[in-house]
Amino acid sequence: MSKESGFLIYCMERYRYYKGLSGAEVAKIFDEYGIYGYIKKYFESLHTMGDDCIVKDIDDYRSSMTGNHRTKV
Protein backbone atom coordinates (compact mmCIF):
# COMPACT_ATOMS: atom_id res chain seq x y z
CA MET A 1 0.00 0.00 0.00
CA SER A 2 1.35 3.43 -0.91
CA LYS A 3 1.82 6.04 1.79
CA GLU A 4 -0.84 8.17 0.07
CA SER A 5 -3.37 5.31 0.22
CA GLY A 6 -2.56 4.67 3.87
CA PHE A 7 -3.00 8.35 4.63
CA LEU A 8 -6.32 8.41 2.78
CA ILE A 9 -7.59 5.61 5.02
CA TYR A 10 -6.31 7.48 8.06
CA CYS A 11 -8.17 10.64 6.98
CA MET A 12 -11.37 8.69 6.42
CA GLU A 13 -11.13 7.16 9.89
CA ARG A 14 -10.40 10.50 11.55
CA TYR A 15 -13.28 12.15 9.68
CA ARG A 16 -15.59 9.30 10.67
CA TYR A 17 -14.58 9.62 14.32
CA TYR A 18 -14.79 13.42 14.54
CA LYS A 19 -18.16 13.58 12.75
CA GLY A 20 -19.73 10.50 14.35
CA LEU A 21 -20.43 8.94 10.95
CA SER A 22 -20.33 5.37 9.68
CA GLY A 23 -17.66 4.25 7.28
CA ALA A 24 -20.27 4.01 4.52
CA GLU A 25 -21.39 7.59 5.17
CA VAL A 26 -17.82 8.86 4.97
CA ALA A 27 -17.18 6.90 1.76
CA LYS A 28 -20.31 8.43 0.21
CA ILE A 29 -19.25 11.97 1.20
CA PHE A 30 -15.69 11.46 -0.01
CA ASP A 31 -16.93 10.09 -3.33
CA GLU A 32 -19.63 12.74 -3.83
CA TYR A 33 -17.24 15.63 -3.25
CA GLY A 34 -14.12 14.16 -4.86
CA ILE A 35 -12.27 14.14 -1.55
CA TYR A 36 -10.29 11.00 -2.41
CA GLY A 37 -8.56 12.85 -5.23
CA TYR A 38 -8.19 15.99 -3.14
CA ILE A 39 -6.36 14.12 -0.37
CA LYS A 40 -4.09 12.33 -2.84
CA LYS A 41 -3.35 15.57 -4.69
CA TYR A 42 -2.51 17.52 -1.53
CA PHE A 43 -0.96 14.66 0.44
CA GLU A 44 2.34 16.48 0.96
CA SER A 45 0.64 19.39 2.74
CA LEU A 46 -2.12 17.48 4.49
CA HIS A 47 0.05 14.84 6.11
CA THR A 48 1.87 17.53 8.11
CA MET A 49 -1.39 18.72 9.75
CA GLY A 50 -3.02 17.54 12.94
CA ASP A 51 -6.33 15.72 12.97
CA ASP A 52 -8.39 18.84 13.78
CA CYS A 53 -6.86 20.69 10.85
CA ILE A 54 -7.38 17.78 8.46
CA VAL A 55 -11.07 17.51 9.37
CA LYS A 56 -11.52 21.29 9.06
CA ASP A 57 -9.73 21.30 5.71
CA ILE A 58 -12.01 18.55 4.41
CA ASP A 59 -15.05 20.49 5.63
CA ASP A 60 -13.75 23.67 3.97
CA TYR A 61 -13.22 21.76 0.73
CA ARG A 62 -16.75 20.32 0.92
CA SER A 63 -18.16 23.81 1.49
CA SER A 64 -16.37 25.07 -1.60
CA MET A 65 -17.91 22.30 -3.72
CA THR A 66 -21.56 23.39 -3.81
CA GLY A 67 -24.19 23.17 -6.52
CA ASN A 68 -22.96 22.77 -10.08
CA HIS A 69 -19.40 23.57 -9.05
CA ARG A 70 -18.75 20.06 -7.74
CA THR A 71 -15.90 18.38 -9.55
CA LYS A 72 -13.72 15.42 -8.81
CA VAL A 73 -10.05 16.20 -8.30
Q: Would you state the pLDDT for residue 4?
A: 87
Q: 14 and 54 in contact (C-beta within 8 Å)?
A: yes
Quote the number of domains for the chain.
1
Provide mean pLDDT across the span 1-27: 95
Residue 70 inside a domain? The answer is no
Distances (CA, A) of 43 to 9, 21, 39, 48, 69: 12, 23, 5, 9, 23
Q: pLDDT > 90: what percent of the chain?
A: 81
CA atoms within 13 A on the CB side of 67: 2
Q: Would you state the pLDDT for residue 67?
A: 52
Q: pLDDT: is 70 or 13 the higher one?
A: 13
Q: Would you state the pLDDT for residue 73?
A: 47
Q: Is 0.85 surpassed by the pTM of this model? A: no
Provide mean pLDDT across the span 38-59: 94
Residue 36 inside a domain? The answer is yes
Residue 73 inside a domain? The answer is no
Domain that holds residue 24: 3-65
